[in-house]
Copies of this chain bind each other. A is one copy, B any other.
Amino acid sequence: MLKEEFDGYKYIEGGVCAARGFTANGLNCGINPVKEKNDLGIVYSEVPCNTAAVYTQNKVKGAPVIVTQKHLEKSHGISKAVIVNSKNANTCNPGGEEIAEETSRLVANELGIKPEEVIVASTGVIGQPLHIGPFAEHMNQLVSGLSVEGHTEAANAIMTTDTVRKEVAVEFDINGSICHLGGMAKGSGMIHPNMATTLNFITTDVAASPEIIQKALSDVVKVTYNCLSVDGDTSTNDMVSVMANGLAGNSIITSEGEEFKIFKQALYIVMLDMVKMLAADGEGASKFIECTCKGAPDINTAITAAKSVIRSPLVKCAMFGGDANCGRILCAVGYADIDIDVKKIDVELKSSAGSILVCKDGMGLQFSEENAAEILAQKEIYIDINLNQGDASARAWGCDLTYDYVKINGDYRS
């Protein structure tokens, strides 16, 4: 998928190590029996980071989510490291919080920092016991291998059913200071974020206060991660954290002026690209789907409508089958919790093979099935909905529902 271009921002390599002062590493510690697959990752900043995070709104919360919240409260929003494992969610299991705390202590001891400066996260199967042994036995090796090149090992460590590694970073300028912001994320199922996201760790060398980072993160999450749905299931372990170590040397951002806008836009670019990668690599996905809802009376209406379409299993199956089924799209808009006049809705389907209007004024149109089939045979499908009743617009992202989704999730634990 082509990255969207934004004036003043340049995509660069490096993921979580793109910003100055960050190193990372990853390895297999034995939680995952497949020795070639990393299951433990670390990110470290040589100087303290002002930090913000958003967490899952699921009432069943992973132990690491609870522990990370406590840590950032205790440290007043200062962190220096992320430790994250895959293959076991450390959720709904005996002693989960103790394991997360002990893991943090192991990291802290090895790095010479405080346990509350550690962001701890887990992803994988829920309800399984997790033992401290593998962490204890490999922490020295993990920390001693920290390097600027380690971002790929760390990004590999958080993959579960993901088929591709998800990293992105940008370079930009704040008042003459060259800044960097990058991150890594994991998919690819149990994805229907609610005021949070799947696991996503972002690092930057921008100098900004914890409050202003939180403000930027909350704003951007609303129009990126919270507009992503792979299967409608909101995970227990969702978390996005942003660590800002200030090494870019800009004067610290503490209010919502021009510099805040530049920083927030960088965050948007990185999170947008992450979200699109997550959608394209959704469990079993054969097609990436972007739904744009424009002409809405307000932004929340636009978001709700676009998300409803992206979440609909029937729309997802139609996209898998290359069926230009406008009825299912209208149906999904219709059952969304929004106040609209359905008789004004236009729907257009687009891809690299062209575009076709399938619905005008809420009525299905006759169209060339051959043309529609060619458009929907592409790997990236765009559903454009115009409500024609306002100026607000929003996008949501997802993927098709395929045999492979059923296959992957029919037997995930084993």
- Give the residues in chain B near A342, CB-CB below 8 Å: 59-60
Provide the A210-242 mask, 1 if CB < 8 A to any CB of B, else 0: 000000000000000000000111111000000
Identify which of B60, B313, B402 contacts A333 (C-beta below 8 A): B60
Asked if A313 and B231 make an inter-chain contact with CB atoms under 8 angstroms apart, the answer reads: yes
Asked if B92 and A190 make an inter-chain contact with CB atoms under 8 angstroms apart, the answer reads: no
Copy number in this complex? 2
A317 touching B364 in the complex, CB below 8 Å, given contacts A335-B57, A335-B58: no
B-binding segment of A101-109, A201-209, A247-255, A320-328: A320-328
B-binding segment of A8-16, A41-49, A121-129, A270-278: A121-129
Cβ of A332 < 8 Å from any Cβ of B? yes
Nearest-neighbor residue (CB-CB) of A190 within chain B = B314
A92 touching B406 in the complex, CB below 8 Å, given contacts A314-B233, A325-B413, A335-B233: no
A363 touching B327 in the complex, CB below 8 Å, given contacts A406-B320, A409-B313, A409-B318: no
A side interface size, CB within 8 A: 67
Identify which of B57, B58, B326, B335 contacts A92 (C-beta below 8 A): B326
Asked if B363 and A127 make an inter-chain contact with CB atoms under 8 angstroms apart, the answer reads: yes
Q: Could you tell me which residues of chain A, from 258 to 272, have a CB within 8 Å of some CB in chain B?
A: none
Assembled-state Cα–Cα distance A405/B231 (Å): 15
Asked if B330 and A127 make an inter-chain contact with CB atoms under 8 angstroms apart, the answer reads: yes
Asked if A412 and B362 make an inter-chain contact with CB atoms under 8 angstroms apart, the answer reads: no
A328 touching B92 in the complex, CB below 8 Å, given contacts A314-B409, A406-B317: no
Cβ of A359 < 8 Å from any Cβ of B? yes
- Which of A129, A327, A402 counts the most B-chain CB atoms under 10 A from its CB? A327
Identify which of B93, B192, B410 contacts A364 (C-beta below 8 A): B93
Asked if A410 and B317 make an inter-chain contact with CB atoms under 8 angstroms apart, the answer reads: yes
Question: 19 A-B Cβ contacts within 8 A?
Answer: A57-B335, A60-B330, A92-B327, A93-B364, A127-B325, A127-B326, A128-B327, A128-B364, A189-B314, A232-B232, A232-B311, A233-B328, A235-B331, A314-B409, A317-B410, A320-B410, A325-B413, A401-B406, A403-B407
